[in-house]
Amino acid sequence: MRIEIRLKQILEEYGLDSYGVETKIAKACGVHRHTIGNLLHNRMKNPSLSVLDGVCRWLIHMGVPYEELPGALFAFRPPTLWKAVASLNNVVIYLGMYVHSSRSTPLIAQVPRAAGRSRAGTTPGPTGRCA
């Protein structure tokens, strides 16, 4: 799971996403506007508690209910890899083994398996790949 900062969504929800909002928040928090920009665009890895405190205080001052903060600033994003794999109709997984031999060309054997069908019993062909 990935934790994401939802500052942009909160600003949009409460109509605070006007031009120059990054600078306004930065001045109120006493930090550089790029710090708030990184927070706004969810690019900050480890925001400090003092920055988060300043952002929450500014949001409360601007009318965001204090009961929602700081919880509304955070959300979980599930990993997207398995969602993408599940959405495909046909998934091919290659299981294989590399065998180093004394020959100049290595022998590579791969056994392809597709969802819903099995190719068990295939044998390596002359090139070392399963036919």
The answer to whether residues 20 and 66 belong to one domain is yes
The answer to whether residues 49 and 93 belong to one domain is no
Domain, as residue range, for 46: 2-78
Assigned domain for 84 exists: no
Q: Which two tokens stand for residue 90?
A: 């046909």
The neighbour count for residue 18, using CB atoms within 10 Å, is 8
Model confidence at 118: pLDDT above 50 = no
Position 52: which residue type? L
Looking at the structure of the chain, the number of domains it has is 2
The answer to whether residues 61 and 111 belong to one domain is no
Top pLDDT among 87 and 15 is at 15
The answer to whether residues 10 and 46 belong to one domain is yes
The answer to whether residues 71 and 104 belong to one domain is no
Indicate the pTM of the whole model.
0.58
Q: Average pLDDT of 28-54? A: 91
Assigned domain for 110 exists: yes
Q: Residue 76: pLDDT band by 50, 70, 90 thresholds?
A: confident
